[in-house]
Structure 1
Amino acid sequence: MTSRTPATGYVEDVSPGRGTLPPRAWYASSDAASLSLNGGWRLRVSPTADAEDDAFAEPGFDAGSWAEVTVPGHWVLQGHGAPVYTNHLYPFPVDPPRVPAENPTGDHLRVFDLPGDWPDGGDTVLRLDGVESCARVWLNGTDIGEFKGSRLPHEFAVGHLLKPSGNVLAVRVHQWSAGSYLEDQDQWWLPGIFRDVTLLHRPPGAAGDFFVHASYDHVTGAGTLRVDSGVPGRVTVPELGIDTGTGEAVTLPVEPWTAETPRLYDGVLATAGERVPVRVGFRTVVVEDGLIKVNGTPLLFKGVNRHEWHPRTGRALDLDTMREDVLLMKRHNLNAVRTSHYPPHPAFLRLCDEYGLWVIDECDLETHGFVEQDWRDNPVDDDRWTPALLDRAARMVERDKNHPSVVMWSLGNEAGTGRGLTAMAEWIHGRDPSRPVHYEGDIGCRDTDVYSRMYPPHEEVERIGRGLDGGTHRRRGLPLILCEYAHAMGNGPGGLTEYQELFERYDRLQGGFVWEWIDHGVEHPELGFAYGGDFGEELHDANFVCDGLLLPDRTPSPGLREYKKVIEPVRIEAGDAAGTVRITNRYDFADLSGLEFVFSHQVDGIPTGAHRLTVPALAPGESAEVKLPGAPDGRGEEVQWTVQVLLAEDTPWAGQGHEVAWGQGTVAPRAPLPAAAGVRPAVDGDRIALGPAEFDARTGAVRSLSGVPVKDLRLDVWRATTDNDDGASWQTDTRYGPLWRESGLHRMRHRLDAVETDGDALTVRTRVAPAGRETGLRTVYRWTSDGTRVRLTVSVVPEGDWRMPLPRLGIRFGLAGTPEDAVFWYGGGNEAYPDTRAASRDLLWDASVGELQTPYVRPQENGAHADVRWAEVGGLRVDGDPEFWFTVRPWTTEHLDAARHRTDLVPGDTVWVHLDHRLHGIGSQSCGPGPLPRYHLWPEPVEFSFVFSQPRD
């Protein structure tokens, strides 16, 4: 009996592939011909890797009955199968390098003609920029090879196989392969040809590979350019007067490239066969004195982790979408991107060069699922896999080495430790010593040049900043970056301000990268946006895939607006002298000459007129005190000042007048509200009248205020738990969301103890407590009126042994209304909670009830506004004494809490108003730490008041 290796044996082979050309720099030639093979392809999906033979690759095969799909694209997002989401669990048995027999396989077919002017001679290369997860390729019936490494380019020499017309390109794509064990990133598993397919003519004497070395000496102001090429040629940079041979160094005065000042020089590499445009950015990256420096200046990363994502096309991104990402980053003060957890489409890095972003370029490597077996059989510590690891490292470095925006190479993410990672680091250090190497999992920093951490709490970050963290001698001398922190899942993240304060206080802390850029919701006709489990996955991690600063449609979340404020590059604070402000330049490289400063006073939130402020062109790190114009007399109203920092001229990433930063301060506080008292309650049958208010005589429940019917006014302590309240299952810290539910805070009962009408007040005494628990809140509602206004004072005294904070503490009630009803308020304008309120700017605002909802992919607590002095909704005005938190919704908290998708929320005929004295913080515990202790809402005796009246004209 004999055995044979199946024709699909390459799928489980740990080698990187067969038949591909060596990796090289990615570029577009000026004059060598190219042909895009993107567009409509024929597709047949089979359930297993060996379900079909190879006949489809032969010329003349009739694929007319096959489906048509778009390339770049994923077949599971085009009606053929379904996506799968897991955070770290492999969605197949862990038996490396074996994969299941159930292995969806997509046969892709494209027939094409060469253009009539396609050159003779030379060679032609077929390039596939991204295929998940394993591909075998035929051209005109000839098997030309196979490869793995989904987010990396692969090229084949095909000139000898081409013919003028009727060329048949066949690509068999397997969803699962040995390569899948190296690609266990937190993302959707999406098979297909999801990046460009291109035919590239390579004329005799073509440039091939080349390496642009462009360093900068910050002491002399000189740049040194040398372009190494495997083919002799000349390098010209007309603006600098450079005309030199490849391999020759030229030193001369230049303007350096930084993310703040992305100065690029256009040049050309000309060889005997082609001309290649090169964009040269002069900069030098080093780790010295324990700091990451560019051009001699330490960096402070204000970054974000970016997966590639589009809600309709998945990881198949077009150029406009990539540009939109970069522009949004720049407009929100971000200066850095970590390409989690694979190299991006190469066009994205060109945009980073052009617009200015620091980039940590990360290899397509993660083996996180092996943590479930204590990292046993982890490929990165198995010599059989080392060639595949080195291939991935080389394809990243060689493709992206000429981008000045790339300042650090990353070996990958959450792959444990092992000899394969050491081999990758050694190869990268040898190939490109001009950039540091990053890898968070190398806790002792044996192979890496920076100390990197994920989600450490604030107190640990401070210990590291103070040098009290211990570790190896090598690690103690390296800078710290937080490659992931502040998990932006759902409502949040909280605590950004306190992290940034630490980064700015300690030199060793060089910033970090918020997780992550965009929610990976999949556009869905019934659910709005789908997440893990919505496609019937056997294993999934639910909405953990929706953890971005952008909603799936690229709408900035309140978290992104908060981050923009926290990291703004100009700090504006009240000065030491009365009537002044202190302006501080927090840029690393740029002065303030490109900005203008606009000042205004506000009276009760209404601006009184804008004025230009004269501010010196401060250098980085410098401060100046600037005198403000005299303040108006508020006549008892609150008077504030606001300074806005705007772009003085158009830039490539935003137009003149774009707001970069802002600051506010108070000149005169609001006068205390007069006492609303003096009118006695009058009992008349089943009703009690108190000024413009009416109550139920038996229960003391308010029926109307100022003629407006009011429904179910009562103490409220519950919120629809956020992702950060619920926390992550693996965390050992207290996760309050589950504890709140276990303790019954979502089902509080309200007992009436007394209704009293003595003196000039109506007093309603109650106890609010959950069934099955002895803990409770003794609550007293005291109503008074002066005949025009009605004051409610709420007194709360906790009873029993409370071992947890409350979600919120305030009142809620219903008013007749719809989502289209207008709301007006004076106070904070951005969604805010105690630890997410930096971007809450005090002004006079208006919006509809519907517009005040933040449509998180998984519905949860949202829409609170901080420091509200007064609000008008549903024909009723509410004044704080002095301020309150304000939320208004077209559905109840219970409905919000029960919803799993946006489409589960259906407005009724009631608008629900929340007036809160305090709120519990948000934190980042969906993956990181919870709220800082100062933002916990512990039960304690408290009293707070609101005044109700008719809206003012």
Structure 2
Amino acid sequence: MTNDYFEDHSPGRGTMTPRAWYASSSATSLSLNGSWLLRVSPTADARDESFAEPGFDAADWAEVTVPGHWVLQGDGAFGRPAYTNHLYPFPVDPPRVPTENPTGDHLYRFDLPEDWPDDGGAVLRFDGVESCARVWLNGTRLGEFKGSRLPHEFAVGHLLEPSGNVLAVRVHQWSAGSYLEDQDQWWLPGIFRDVTLRHRPEGCAGDFFVHASFDHRTGQGTLRVESDTAGRVSVPALGIDVATGATVTVPVRPWSAEVPTLYDGELVTAGERVPLRIGFRTVELADGLIRVNGTAVLFKGVNRHEWHPGTGRALDPETMRRDVLLMKQHNINAVRTAHYPPHPAFLDLCDEYGLWVIDECDLETHGFTEQDWRDNPVDDDRWTPALLDRAARTVERDKNHPSVVIWSLGNEAGTGRGLTAMAEWIHHRDPSRLVHYEGDPNSRDTDMYSRMYAGHAEVERIGRELDGGTHKRRRLPFILCEYGHAMGNGPGGLAEYQRLFETYDRLQGGFVWEWIDHGIAHPGLGYAYGGDFGEELHDGNFVCDGLVFPDRRPSPGLLEYKKVIEPVRIHGDGADGTVTVTNRYDFADLAALAFEWSYQVDGETVETGPLVVPRLAPAESAVVKLPPRPAGPEDGETRWTVRAVLAADTAWAPRGHEVAWGQFPVTERTRPVLRPAVGPVSGDGAITLGPARFDPRTGALGSIGTVEVSGLRLDVWRAPTDNDEGTDWLTGTRTAALWRNAGLHRMRHRLDAVELGENTLTVRTRVAPAAREFGLDTDYRWTSDGDRLRLTVSVRPDGEWPVPLPRLGVRLALAAADEVRWFGAGPHEGYPDTRAAARLGRYESTVDELQTPYVRPQENGARADVRWAEIGGLRIEGDPAFYFTARRWTTERLDAAAHLTDLTPGDAVWVNLDHALHGIGTASCGPGPLPRYQLRAEGAEFAFVLSQLR
């Protein structure tokens, strides 16, 4: 057996010229998806090619589903998934690959439908195979191809039989193409996208290019459809009926991500009728900005890998639609198809529902960083034909989608002549769109300056055009193609980035990394990540870094992002009873929205009503008068809430769906007051103070009334988040490592004194880590009015503290608790730099529902700005407001867990009442928390009023 086809530089042999993806409304097609026969061999040459011959006996082969990955089927019988971020899981010796090269031989038998035409030809199409395939039909070898996330077609009409057709496909996991596909994802071999047989009648349209531009000054759209087969183009709604190649200009409504107007048309040739969905829009680089239809756009985007926890990158139409609907419902307006073209049906959905798309080529060579980019394929002329093939297959397939406004050359592939060749080819083939590539620091080949994970200060310098670089780069718009790394709890700092985007015109937004956690459903672990399948080389849970969990439930990070990028800004002044509404859309006015006000007293809504807001154009603002304040208590904390909701059902959300909201206070909260009326009494083996009993030796609280309390003490440790564990790109430090090195996970509590005063029980302690000389002098002062108990905690740092604190508050255990009520921010978690989306109100939950199920367990579930909370028969009021957390396991057990299945409830509920928390940041890949969100070891005093619920 010769290895030339999977170990050579070429993209393949025998395939047809790439062309537009479409479904004819008149030509017959046959899906070849379904149950296929499979045999997996450990090496590429373990079996000969006789399986492709007619009459081969495959009775003992297994069955698998296509589209699908064989390693996700068969309960491990066909191999296992493997995850690496950028390291190649094989020796780097391009274009050679290991002898250990799992190879899947596939067989599919099919009959043609009875109505299959007997004239013309046929095309066999593969939409995605990883990573290299050789194909036979009825014993005839058709050819080979590489390019996993790209379409490949073969002309097969002359080989088809009415019945008994046998399609044979040999798929190699590793090939020369693998060097071009090192894209921070699971390595998953198989035929994972659709396989289709399409009849090609005589006179059909082989390929066509829809050019549909819009002149924003005249409101005119210009249409021209190029076709390699002459025909006519009709658009009934516009009265268009012209020959292919002809240009026609008519008044139209333009397409945008906000108002995705599509016109149904048809391309008719002698052999077939092809439906068209035409969106008129013009993309240009003008005045240093990316403009669509004359308007500079602000990308509020996400990076989207294709993923399903059960089927990997084999996505069904409903899953793709769910992604688009979730994005629209959370104010996302753009997608970067990281790091390969998506299933073509996804772009149909982007056209229909409205999303800007950066369509990225199937290219990444990130692993060559390990050798300082030596032998990088993109700077080696032998690879250029393969690179150009990938560029062509991307552009030709997707060129008729109005949602695609930018082509991207790929990701993290260094620089080189091959990338320049790709950019030149794309610019020449499609000058109607712009070209992106992040790894081009001087923007030599691109139409924009793109970066990943730049810190806030640098982004502001770029916005102010103080970033330096070449003259060309300084004149280009800037986007963060990746930022806000959404791994675990976080990302933090999104609001501050968005303020910069909205302040400086040059900053045209960014794309959060990324959309979904790539956890694999696992019966024993819940969701598996890197290393859970015995990989010798892996990058752990770095593959779980999405705004939605693997099952597509929104994470708190997605809710935060929705709030941060909301397209309507609502600010109010409770003192004068007005609200300022600003339209932050780029194209749409506010006609589709209805506005509502509500008035809260101590977190409870007492009255609601509609609010009339003018039909503001983009960038316009209006000051609107609120109604008179509803009558009610004068001593409560009061505030207005104003919401913008959909006024009618839309394609992506029902009437009443919330798009934006704002809250602003009228009267501030009155802090709890407790006047000491009783003093501590020692006797009967305890110290009593009002309703509470304390241990006379240690001063430890034992109960408040009938509510048992244990373990109350200062707490500074949290189970580090993924962002805590990461390396801050700005400082080079790993916060969690600093914390552990300082011993903050093993603090010791020394009792210095238990003092009984006239009205006060004071417990003096020193809290410090073993092996270190610094600590926290901590006093607990207890007072009571007879029914309630006030705890005042005073903290004074001692010595030189080298690190910030993870948290500062008290922890306690309750013997039994389930239901929780609180007045504060919610309903979901919020941390210092991730709390924009948590609104003040009264909420109810269970302890279990308070937990956020991050795939790798870590600090989670804190509710911010809590005025009071009720749990386990205890009421807790904060002075000032506090962060509240409750869970059925200790922080130490949470810290030790690798998967959610490692966490089992204990006998107690552990409650944290935090005066302050360290911020979250995005240092799992990017910068850590901004300085104002870092919790420094400084003197502090805070208090809680505790009482038994009656």
TM, length-normalised to structure 1? 0.98
Question: Matched residues in 1 for 2:696 and 2:680: separation?
Answer: 11
Q: Is 1:628 aligned to residue 626 of structure 2?
A: yes
Q: Is 1:19 aligned to residue 14 of structure 2?
A: yes
Deviation string 1:613-644 (CA, Å, 9 cap, x unpaired) is 00000000011111112223433211011001
Shift of 1:826: 3.7
| Residue of structure 1 equivalent to 2:913 | 915
Question: Matched residues in 1 for 2:381 and 2:546: separation?
Answer: 36
| Residue of structure 2 equivalent to 1:3 | none
Is 2:522–2:528's contact at 8 Å kept on the other side of the alignment?
yes
Is 1:693–1:707's contact at 8 Å kept on the other side of the alignment?
no
| Residue of structure 2 equivalent to 1:156 | 154
> 1:611-626 residue pairs with structure 2 within 5 A?
611-626=609-624
> 1:557-576 residue pairs with structure 2 within 5 A?
557-575=555-573
Partner amino acid for 1:765? R
Deviation string 1:198-248 (CA, Å, 9 cap, x unpaired) is 000000001110000000000000000000000000000011110000000
Q: Please identify, of 656-665 and 622-631, the stretch whose mean Cα deviation from structure 2 is larger.
A: 622-631
| Residue of structure 2 equivalent to 1:738 | 737
Is 1:778–1:796's contact at 8 Å kept on the other side of the alignment?
yes
Question: Matched residues in 2 for 1:446 and 1:699: separation?
Answer: 70
Is 2:72–2:310's contact at 8 Å kept on the other side of the alignment?
yes
Shift of 1:731: 7.4
Q: Out of 317, 327, 350, which is 2:325 matched to? A: 327
Deviation string 1:901-940 (CA, Å, 9 cap, x unpaired) is 0100000121111000000000000001000000010011
Structure 1 residues 715 and 576, CA gap change in structure 2 (3 angstroms):
closer
> 1:56-135 residue pairs with structure 2 within 5 A?
56-79=51-74, 80-135=78-133
| Residue of structure 2 equivalent to 1:802 | 801
Q: Is 1:700 aligned to residue 695 of structure 2?
A: no
Q: Out of 288, 313, 316, which is 1:315 matched to? A: 313
Partner amino acid for 1:827? A
| Residue of structure 2 equivalent to 1:255 | 253
Q: Out of 276, 285, 288, which is 1:287 matched to? A: 285
> 1:813-892 residue pairs with structure 2 within 5 A?
813-817=812-816, 820-892=818-890
Q: Is 1:680 aligned to residue 672 of structure 2?
A: no
| Residue of structure 1 equivalent to 2:576 | 578
Shift of 1:685: 3.4
Is 1:91–1:539's contact at 8 Å kept on the other side of the alignment?
yes
Shift of 1:591: 0.4
Question: Matched residues in 1 for 2:705 and 2:340: separation?
Answer: 60
Shift of 1:86: 0.2
Question: Matched residues in 1 for 2:4 and 2:58: separation?
Answer: 26
Structure 1 residues 78 and 841, CA gap change in structure 2 (3 angstroms):
same
Question: Matched residues in 1 for 2:780 and 2:377: separation?
Answer: 65
Partner amino acid for 1:549? L
Shift of 1:575: 4.2
Partner amino acid for 1:478? L
| Residue of structure 2 equivalent to 1:202 | 200
| Residue of structure 1 equivalent to 2:34 | 39
Question: Matched residues in 1 for 2:175 and 2:44: separation?
Answer: 10
Is 1:11–1:177's contact at 8 Å kept on the other side of the alignment?
yes
Q: Is 1:792 aligned to residue 791 of structure 2?
A: yes
Question: Matched residues in 2 for 1:180 and 1:651: separation?
Answer: 42
Is 2:132–2:175's contact at 8 Å kept on the other side of the alignment?
yes
Runs of 4 or more consecutive aligned structure 1 residues displaced over 6 Å after TM superposition: none
Unaligned runs of 5+ in 2: none
Shift of 1:62: 1.3
Partner amino acid for 2:398? D
Q: Is 1:175 aligned to residue 170 of structure 2?
A: no
Unaligned runs of 5+ in 1: 1-5
Question: Matched residues in 2 for 1:185 and 1:22: separation?
Answer: 26
Deviation string 1:116-150 (CA, Å, 9 cap, x unpaired) is 11001100000000000000000000000000000
Deviation string 1:494-541 (CA, Å, 9 cap, x unpaired) is 000000000000000000000000000000000000000000101000
Partner amino acid for 1:158? V
Deviation string 1:790-815 (CA, Å, 9 cap, x unpaired) is 00000000001001110000001010
Deviation string 1:850-881 (CA, Å, 9 cap, x unpaired) is 00000000000000111000000001000111
| Residue of structure 2 equivalent to 1:640 | 639
Q: Is 1:408 aligned to residue 383 of structure 2?
A: no
Question: Matched residues in 2 for 1:679 and 1:888: separation?
Answer: 31
Question: Matched residues in 2 for 1:827 and 1:100: separation?
Answer: 55
Q: Is 1:527 aligned to residue 522 of structure 2?
A: no
Is 1:676–1:789's contact at 8 Å kept on the other side of the alignment?
no
Is 1:828–1:868's contact at 8 Å kept on the other side of the alignment?
no
Is 1:445–1:474's contact at 8 Å kept on the other side of the alignment?
yes
Question: Matched residues in 2 for 1:928 and 1:795: separation?
Answer: 35
Question: Matched residues in 1 for 2:486 and 2:696: separation?
Answer: 48
Question: Matched residues in 2 for 1:86 and 1:130: separation?
Answer: 21
Shift of 1:950: 2.5
Question: Matched residues in 2 for 1:930 and 1:511: separation?
Answer: 20
Is 1:634–1:668's contact at 8 Å kept on the other side of the alignment?
no
Question: Matched residues in 1 for 2:948 and 2:189: separation?
Answer: 60
Q: Out of 467, 470, 473, which is 2:471 matched to? A: 473
Provide the secondary structure at the position in 1 that maps to 2:419.
helix
Provide the secondary structure at the position in 1 that maps to 2:211.
strand
Partner amino acid for 2:485? H
| Residue of structure 1 equivalent to 2:231 | 233
| Residue of structure 1 equivalent to 2:380 | 382
> 1:443-482 residue pairs with structure 2 within 5 A?
443-482=441-480
Deviation string 1:830-864 (CA, Å, 9 cap, x unpaired) is 21100001001001100110000000000000001
| Residue of structure 2 equivalent to 1:300 | 298
Is 1:266–1:279's contact at 8 Å kept on the other side of the alignment?
yes
Partner amino acid for 1:10? Y
Q: Is 1:717 aligned to residue 716 of structure 2?
A: yes
Q: Please identify, of 730-739 and 153-162, the stretch whose mean Cα deviation from structure 2 is larger.
A: 730-739
Shift of 1:315: 0.1
Question: Matched residues in 2 for 1:828 and 1:332: separation?
Answer: 17
Question: Matched residues in 2 for 1:625 and 1:902: separation?
Answer: 48
Question: Matched residues in 2 for 1:731 and 1:891: separation?
Answer: 34
Is 2:337–2:358's contact at 8 Å kept on the other side of the alignment?
yes
Deviation string 1:567-590 (CA, Å, 9 cap, x unpaired) is 000000024971101000000000
Provide the secondary structure at the position in 2 that maps to 1:814.
strand
Is 2:641–2:664's contact at 8 Å kept on the other side of the alignment?
yes
Question: Matched residues in 1 for 2:810 and 2:758: separation?
Answer: 24
| Residue of structure 2 equivalent to 1:924 | 922
Deviation string 1:673-702 (CA, Å, 9 cap, x unpaired) is 222412111111320111111100110000
Is 1:573–1:583's contact at 8 Å kept on the other side of the alignment?
yes
Shift of 1:59: 1.4
| Residue of structure 1 equivalent to 2:360 | 362
| Residue of structure 2 equivalent to 1:371 | 369
Partner amino acid for 2:205? A
Question: Matched residues in 1 for 2:16 and 2:703: separation?
Answer: 78
Shift of 1:410: 0.1
Q: Is 1:749 aligned to residue 748 of structure 2?
A: yes
Is 1:287–1:436's contact at 8 Å kept on the other side of the alignment?
yes
Question: Matched residues in 1 for 2:463 and 2:243: separation?
Answer: 47
Is 1:706–1:948's contact at 8 Å kept on the other side of the alignment?
no
| Residue of structure 2 equivalent to 1:665 | 664
Count of equivalent residues = 946
Is 2:750–2:767's contact at 8 Å kept on the other side of the alignment?
yes
Structure 1 residues 729 and 260, CA gap change in structure 2 (3 angstroms):
closer
Question: Matched residues in 2 for 1:658 and 1:817: separation?
Answer: 38
Question: Matched residues in 2 for 1:578 and 1:85: separation?
Answer: 57
Q: Out of 489, 492, 509, which is 2:507 matched to? A: 509
Calculate percent identity across the aligned residue pairs.
Answer: 74
Question: Matched residues in 2 for 1:520 and 1:646: separation?
Answer: 32
Question: Matched residues in 2 for 1:902 and 1:926: separation?
Answer: 20
